[in-house]
């Protein structure tokens, strides 16, 4: 997994299987919470519950 931080470290891009079949997930880091913008694939949803 690769983790990239963009835009003053508020937008985080997680890349799973970057060399085989890259799947990206985007997370916005606010002052009090994290907001998931794009899960990348529905299989990631159970891991968050």
| Residues facing 29 on adjacent strands | 34
Alpha helices (runs of H) in 2-48, residue ranges in sequence order: 45-48
* pLDDT one-digit tens code per residue, 23-35: 888 888 888 998 8
Flag the least confident range among 17-21, 35-39, 41-45. Answer: 41-45
How many domains are contained in the chain?
1
Model confidence pTM above 0.85: no
End-to-end CA distance of the chain: 20
> Whole domain around residue 32: which residue ranges?
2-48
Q: Decide: 28 and 37 in contact? Cβ < 8 Å.
A: yes
């Amino acid at each position: 997994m690769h983790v990239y931080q963009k835009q003053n470290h508020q937008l985080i891009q997680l890349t799973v299987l970057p060399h085989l079949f890259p799947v990206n997930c985007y997370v916005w880091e606010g002052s009090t919470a994290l907001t998931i913008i794009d899960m990348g694939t529905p299989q990631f949803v159970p891991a968050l519950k």
